[in-house]
Chain A
Amino acid sequence: MPSLKQITTKIKSVRSTRRIMGAMKLIAAVRLQKAQAALMAYRPYSDAYRDVVLNVAALSESEDHPLLRVPEEKTNLHVLFFTSDRGLCGSFNSALIRNMQRYVEEQSEVFGSIKLSFVGRRGRDYFSKGGVATGKYYTGVNEKNSRKFSEELAAALTEEFRVGGSDEIVLAYNHFVSAISQRMTFERLLPLSVQENDDSGAESSSDYIFEPEKERIIGSILPKYVQVRIERAMNESLTSEHAARMTAMENATSNADEVIAKLTLLFNKTRQAIITTELMDIVNGTEAQRKGGNE
């Protein structure tokens, strides 16, 4: 049985860990709230942008613009993988990495070569150990600089697609559903999936008016669209990360509470046992003395 001192030390250490986790939970909650508000505001914009682009793409021929080109062969796949920089967010990264690994295995049957680029340290740390070709790597992305990062990434990725360095670009990130639920999503960024929009496109290109002409519009909205989708994925991923961290810290705090309760019980029992032993000693001692006096 551990000594009383050992138990008090342990309780103290669990208490201080609990305090840290409690603070982290509060920080995550505040950041989640902010990120969620920004995400909810960003979603209508990016969705509307996607609708416009898909609409224009549906009315265009693949020859109209290099970014609309549909590669004849699926050779090079480029996946942009969003994870977090830091840990202590439960199974957030491990679940992402597990799904990613499976996806890479599936796609390697279709594509000749697969390249991974990373936003977030955790994903890169895992995949840089080998097995998959790795491309660009970004770290330190947060809500404030996501626009700048996404612009840089978008420029690089569109250029790569334009010159034929990749035949398909996919975004892999956690889609934020709610504070307790996030869903891993694989979204094809380029080439645009034009076919999906066919059923809604009742108008033909002849009765749609474009100002300036269609080719110039495509030239300016497609790169922007790529940037918007990447920024959206960043925001989704960041919000999901904060949510995952908050949940993880909440669980950790309540676990710590349980441990503290158990240790306190153990402490009380041990103390009681010691008192009982001491009492027994005293009683035994006086018994012995009385017997000795009688004789």
Chain B
Amino acid sequence: MAEKLRLKIITPEKLVFDGEVEELVAPGQMGEFGVLPGHVPFLSMLFPGRLRFKTEESGENTLIIHGGLADVKDDTVSILTDQSEDPEEVDVATARKDAEAFQKELDELQDAEASEREELDKKLRIARSRAGE
């Protein structure tokens, strides 16, 4: 493949990644999607989850991202997210416990307001992706 994708992962704290990748898979709100060079312009909201991308130097990479959005335009993918984490630095046991707690809370909040449930749903998804589930 001659052409490459440029991937930028930007959080409010820092520019996490800026470089060329061969392909990437992101957790879109309408389902996981992959991007290859030559993709049509595309804008998607992201769920918290795992972002995977392949580079020439380091092969497969995985990052946990806390939701946000992905903008694909002119072979450049910009991922804007609140926070990103390296899966290897995550304490899986705690994350699993958190996920369980959030799930329980969410079950109990069946008739709470939508925004409240959404907030909790986001937390749950973050915890799950940290736990690697």
Are B13 and A207 touching (Cβ within 8 A)?
no
Does A56 have its Cβ within 8 Å of any Cβ on chain B?
yes
Complex contact A41–B43 (CB within 8 A): no
Interface locus among B4-12, B101-109, B124-132: B4-12
Per the bound structure, the CA–CA distance linking A208 and B69 in Å amounts to: 15
Q: By the criterion CB–CB under 8 Å, are B40 and A209 in contact?
A: yes
Least Cβ distance of A167 to chain B in Å? 27
Q: Taking the complex as formed, is A49 at the interface, i.e. its CB lies under 8 A from any CB of chain B?
A: yes
Query: How big is chain B's contact interface, by range?
Result: 20 to 34
Bitwise interface map of B from 86 to 97 toward A, beta carbon under 8 Å scored 1, else 0: 000000000000
Residue from A147, A209, A216 in contact with B42 in the complex, judged by beta carbons closer than 8 Å:
A209
Cα A145 to Cα B11 with chains together (Å):
17
CA distance A228 to B40 in the complex (A): 27
Q: Are B10 and A211 interface neighbours, CB within 8 A? A: no
Given the interface pairs A45-B12, A52-B71, A55-B71, the reply to whether A212 lies near B45 with Cβ below 8 Å is yes
Q: Report whether over half of chain A's contact residues are helix, strand or loop; otherwise say mixed.
A: helix
Q: Residue A203 at the B interface, CB < 8 A?
A: yes
Q: A49 vs B13: C-alpha distance in the bound complex, in angstroms?
A: 14
State how many angstroms separate the Cβ of B112 from the closest Cβ of chain A.
Answer: 19
Q: Give 19 pairs: A residue, B residue, CB < 8 Å, sorted on A.
A: A41-B14, A44-B15, A45-B80, A52-B43, A52-B80, A55-B43, A203-B41, A208-B41, A209-B42, A209-B43, A210-B42, A210-B44, A211-B42, A211-B43, A211-B44, A212-B30, A217-B43, A217-B45, A217-B69
Q: Which residues of B contact A (CB under 8 A)?
A: 8, 10-15, 28-30, 33, 40-45, 69, 71, 73, 78, 80
Interface residues of A (CB under 8 A from B): 38, 41-42, 44-46, 48-49, 51-52, 55-56, 147, 203, 207-212, 216-217, 220-221, 228, 231
